[in-house]
Structure 1
Amino acid sequence: MAFPKVPCSWLSLDAMDISGELHLDLDHDVYKQRLAANGSPVKEVEKHNVDATKTKMPAGNGTAGVAAGVAGDAANDTQVAVSGCGSCYGAEDQQGDCCNTCDEVRAAYRRKGWALANVDHVEQCAHDMYTESIKEQAGEGCHMWGMLEVNKVAGNFHFAPGRSYQQGSMHVHDIAPFGEAVMDFRHTVHRLSFGKPFPGMKNPLDTAKAEHTAATTSGMFQYFLKVVPTAYTDLSNVTVNTNQFSVTENFREAQGGAGKTLPGVFFFYDLSPIKVRIIEHASSFLSFLTSVCAIVGGVFTVSGIVDACVYTGARLIKKKMELGKFS
């Protein structure tokens, strides 16, 4: 998947399902490449700005191999720690609390429900790699690909701006560091699949460019996927267990206010209770010969009928002409 207007460092990939399993800022078997404003890959300046980490997810009932992804910068975890007890800048839960890193300051603000939009005055964030990468990559795009495992239950995975966290029962993305920047989430899905492909398989979102006719491109792109388990058996009796899916698209324009729409690209999937079986088979030579004979016989029969009609019509016309009754 390619985002031509959203930098890699601005995005996070999260996955969750109705069983309660939640994964934030996924970087498991997911990769990214920074893109310049003209769409060309940005040359590698620092390794953490281009390459994503590759780690294995915990084993589970995985069904989805998703050829789209995004990872947070591995080096974003680099923090500047202050000596002694650092200030939380008014967000202490109780007197004496310390915030010695930039992430601890952000966490304290999140617990209070406050936005930390400007970190220039925060000593712990003086050399925060996350803040620096946000400024450095402004105006760039991002190309993401990879795979992730999901449980065989309904759920969703989404690409959205800012680091994500769970606050009570709410899933929240911290977009305060981006200020008033417009999030243009127009994108191109190069390939999306759930499982291995089989001969002749075509997924509806492959090489599909998501565009919308709304006046603004800032908003939530939603894809509602109905995943159908499929078993394909070829001529050599080898079976491939995979999935097909259908898709319905929707776009929610970003709105202001407390309940404003989070911009991003969201894929909501649900599994169908019906399984499709596709079995490939070849006809025998005897069946082929029988079909050929049937076709040839049919051609001769139709030709005979047409010939008889023409012959009978010609005789009637000739007889009338002899009697002088044809005019």
Structure 2
Amino acid sequence: MIFSGKLKSLDFYRKIPRDLTEASFSGAGLSIIAALSMVFLFGMELNEYMTLQTTTSIVVDRSSDGDFLRIDFMLNFPALSCEFASVDVSDVLGTKRLNITRTIRKYSIDPNLKTTGSEFHSGSIPKINNHGDRDLGEDNGDDSVALTSAQFDIYSQQYDIFVVNFYAPWCYWSNRLKPSWEKASNIIKERYNPEIYRRIVMGKVDCTLENALCRRHHIQGYPSIRIFRKGNDVRDNHGHHEHESYYGERDTDSLVAAMEVLASSLPKESQKLALEDNSTKVVTQRAAPLTSGCRIEGFVLVNKVPGNLLISANSLAHSFDPSQINVSHVISYFGFGTKPPPTSLYELRRLRPNLGESYNRLAGKSFLTHSGDANANVTIEHYLQVVKTEVVSRRHSREYKLLEEYEYTAHSSLVNSFYIPVVKFHYEPSNMQVLITEEPKSFSHFITNVCAIIGGVFTVAGILDSILHNTIRLVKKVELGKQF
């Protein structure tokens, strides 16, 4: 009994007998208001506790040394042929990679940017070692048929195999090919009399005189050797032409061997031709571009230093007329790093509404010029400042990465040049990065706030009730005093 009495003396919350307390309407009203306030404030505090808190800071790029930067893109070129479209990269460290093909895909497109067939062969054009005969000997004259637009359609319908050299007189490579072409044409003419058998004939087109004819067949580099098979040149399919391009050696023996194989009616997929001396060379015959446009998509891995991504018409065995090269383009996608999945972007934008708005800043933008006018020979340059953004979480006392993305700013310009026009993406990664840290609130902080809410509302309600009750009693006393 003594122990229980001492224990009761420690009670902070001594009770007043119920008979000594008095209930009131004002107290009941304040109690209801206080209870509703407690529930409302408790709900707000619980929502705040469940919401993750983020902090943003600028730190030195935490990437490991030797990490590569991935560049993903999908670019549409309405006037650049897939045949010569080349993707090159270079950087300030001296790294250069030309005509990247392993991670790049090309598709012929029409002026409306719609694909016109399956993937265009994205392999590199084979290196041509023999651009002509070493010992040209005497001039054999002009044995190949010089064609005009009117004659071209007639010959293509009369002969089973119609091989045409599209050239330009000012072109160095065209002039190197000319003697071999004429000599090979003379040999084929003697072996297959075109006036009798009509199996094969070799012709030539001067693109400086027959500009419209060359544009119709999407000739952008000189010389371009096209192989037409009777009945395969489809003219009613929106202007598309189905034929092949010859990428083999350009000496007389190689040309004659190629013509022999064509004349022997081998399947047009055949790519291996045996020369007369029984040595074997691979002469690549590939489908010629269906249209003059090309969609280039894929990715490249580059060093994380300032550098350039170039798209241009490029070949080691062809010449280009800069005034006829148009690098107008429409950008469907251009971004750095791995493209964030939509689900991750949704969750992260919930945390930070502005996050992820600049990882594809150039999407949907068009950069168009027109050949043959004041805007010809235009190089289009894009200057990109790249900043890495990293989002990490520190839940359960551990730090792990939620997302890593690269945002960038873009400034573009059109530059007139005497050289072959190119599209240049100059990128410059920043040595700083944005670090967004996600930190949950502690449970102790939540409990402390809940106790403060309940105790504070209860105390404030009690004070208001006391003030209201005493005021009512005072008013009643004043009224009773006035009555007496």
TM-score (ref. length: structure 2)? 0.40
Which residue of structure 1 lines up, in the alignment, with residue 105 of structure 2?
Answer: 31
Q: Is the 8 A contact 1:18 1:153 kept in 2?
A: yes
Paired with 2:135 and 2:449, the residues of 1 have a C-alpha distance of: 86
Which residue of structure 2 lines up, in the alignment, with residue 187 of structure 1?
Answer: 330
Paired with 1:133 and 1:254, the residues of 2 have a C-alpha distance of: 36
User: Residues 86 and 292 of structure 1: is their aligned pair in 2 closer, same or farther, counting only changes over 3 Å?
Assistant: farther
Paired with 1:85 and 1:182, the residues of 2 have a C-alpha distance of: 32
Structure 1, unpaired ranges of 5+:
53-72, 89-113, 165-173, 302-327
User: Residues 182 and 138 of structure 1: is their aligned pair in 2 closer, same or farther, counting only changes over 3 Å?
Assistant: farther
Paired with 1:184 and 1:270, the residues of 2 have a C-alpha distance of: 23
Deviations along 1:232-262, whole A, 9 cap, x unmatched? 214664316745232232323334xxxx254
Which residue of structure 2 lines up, in the alignment, with residue 97 of structure 1?
Answer: none
Paired with 2:292 and 2:313, the residues of 1 have a C-alpha distance of: 14
Q: How does 1:219-234 map to 2 (within 5 A)?
A: 219-234=378-393
Which structure shows the bigger proportion of residues in strand conformation?
2
Which residue of structure 2 lines up, in the alignment, with residue 208 of structure 1?
Answer: 364
Which residue of structure 2 lines up, in the alignment, with residue 50 of structure 1?
Answer: 120
Paired with 1:37 and 1:293, the residues of 2 have a C-alpha distance of: 69
1:192 aligned counterpart, secondary structure: strand
Paired with 1:290 and 1:219, the residues of 2 have a C-alpha distance of: 67
Which residue of structure 1 lines up, in the alignment, with residue 88 of structure 2?
Answer: 14
The question of 1:151 aligning with 2:310 is answered no
Paired with 2:82 and 2:285, the residues of 1 have a C-alpha distance of: 9
Paired with 1:294 and 1:30, the residues of 2 have a C-alpha distance of: 62
Which residue of structure 2 lines up, in the alignment, with residue 245 of structure 1?
Answer: 407
C-alpha displacement of 1:281: 3.3
Paired with 1:183 and 1:24, the residues of 2 have a C-alpha distance of: 20
Which residue of structure 1 lines up, in the alignment, with residue 178 of structure 2?
Answer: 121
The question of 1:275 aligning with 2:349 is answered no
Paired with 1:82 and 1:251, the residues of 2 have a C-alpha distance of: 38
Which residue of structure 1 lines up, in the alignment, with residue 126 of structure 2?
Answer: 77
Paired with 1:39 and 1:186, the residues of 2 have a C-alpha distance of: 10
User: Residues 278 and 254 of structure 1: is their aligned pair in 2 closer, same or farther, counting only changes over 3 Å?
Assistant: same
Q: Is the 8 A contact 2:377 2:419 kept in 1?
A: no
Q: Is the 8 A contact 2:323 2:377 kept in 1?
A: no
Deviations along 1:256-288, whole A, 9 cap, x unmatched? xxxx25422111112212122112234467767
Paired with 1:149 and 1:31, the residues of 2 have a C-alpha distance of: 15
Higher relative contact order (CA 8 A, sep 6+): 2
C-alpha displacement of 1:159: 0.5
C-alpha displacement of 1:230: 3.1
AA matched with 2:413: F
Paired with 1:9 and 1:192, the residues of 2 have a C-alpha distance of: 25
C-alpha displacement of 1:14: 0.8
Q: Is the 8 A contact 1:223 1:266 kept in 2?
A: yes
2:117 aligned counterpart, secondary structure: coil
Which residue of structure 2 lines up, in the alignment, with residue 316 of structure 1?
Answer: none
User: Residues 287 and 9 of structure 1: is their aligned pair in 2 closer, same or farther, counting only changes over 3 Å?
Assistant: farther
Deviations along 1:101-137, whole A, 9 cap, x unmatched? xxxxxxxxxxxxx952636616377676359999943
RMSD of the alignment, in Å? 4.4
Paired with 1:246 and 1:284, the residues of 2 have a C-alpha distance of: 35
Which residue of structure 1 lines up, in the alignment, with residue 38 of structure 2?
Answer: none
1:42 aligned counterpart, secondary structure: strand
Moved more, 182-191 or 120-129: 120-129
Q: Is the 8 A contact 1:16 1:22 kept in 2?
A: yes
Structure ID, larger Rg: 2
AA matched with 1:129: Y
Deviations along 1:276-326, whole A, 9 cap, x unmatched? 21122344677678889999x9xxx9xxxxxxxxxxxxxxxxxxxxxxxxx
Q: Is the 8 A contact 1:230 1:275 kept in 2?
A: yes
AA matched with 1:43: G
Paired with 2:174 and 2:305, the residues of 1 have a C-alpha distance of: 40
Which structure shows the bigger proportion of residues in helix conformation?
2
Paired with 2:91 and 2:421, the residues of 1 have a C-alpha distance of: 20
AA matched with 1:121: K
C-alpha displacement of 1:31: 1.2
C-alpha displacement of 1:5: 2.1
1:163 aligned counterpart, secondary structure: coil
Moved more, 266-275 or 117-126: 117-126
AA matched with 1:40: K
Q: Is the 8 A contact 1:159 1:265 kept in 2?
A: yes
Q: Is the 8 A contact 1:185 1:264 kept in 2?
A: no
Q: Is the 8 A contact 1:232 1:278 kept in 2?
A: yes
Q: Is the 8 A contact 2:389 2:404 kept in 1?
A: yes
Paired with 2:380 and 2:104, the residues of 1 have a C-alpha distance of: 21
